[in-house]
């Protein structure tokens, strides 16, 4: 069964750096999240997975509506009553920690 994809009208900013260790590190101050990955591609993938997991947890705890409202975010399609087989698509932007824009997903 294909997942129901819920697009979220939001823009989540992440600051990232390529650490001396060779790892990529991204910080999302508004959501108080920090991630680390071996490659830039993995970092982008991990951000998408983390945002999806966060919203799924909030949906399961019946806190998603409040969370979205507090941030001025909206779902662009109806959110099913049952959280099974749902995937959230949240746009985000990565900006180098020094202020240089890197990529937009």
Token pair for 32: 């108080």
pLDDT for 2 equals 82
pTM assigned to the model: 0.87
pLDDT for 83 equals 67
SS3 35: strand
Domain residue ranges of the chain, discontinuous segments joined by + = 4-104
The answer to whether the CB of 29 falls within 8 A of the CB of 12 is no
What is the per-residue pLDDT across 6-55, written as a single tens digit (0 to 9) for each? 999 998 999 999 988 899 999 999 999 999 999 999 999 999 999 999 99
What is the per-residue pLDDT across 59-105, written as a single tens digit (0 to 9) for each? 999 999 999 999 999 999 888 877 678 999 999 999 998 744 444 34
d(CA 71, CA 24): 27
């Amino acid at each position: 069964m294909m997942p129901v994809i819920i697009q979220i009208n939001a823009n989540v900013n992440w600051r990232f750096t390529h650490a001396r260790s060779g790892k990529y590190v991204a910080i999302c101050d508004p959501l108080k999240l920090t991630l680390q990955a071996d490659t830039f591609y993995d970092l982008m993938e991990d951000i998408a997975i983390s945002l999806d997991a966060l919203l799924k947890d909030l949906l399961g705890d019946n806190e998603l509506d409040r969370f979205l409202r507090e941030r001025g975010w909206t779902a662009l399609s109806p959110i099913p009553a049952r959280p099974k087989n749902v995937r959230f698509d949240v746009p985000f932007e990565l900006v180098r920690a020094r202020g240089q824009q890197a990529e937009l997903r």
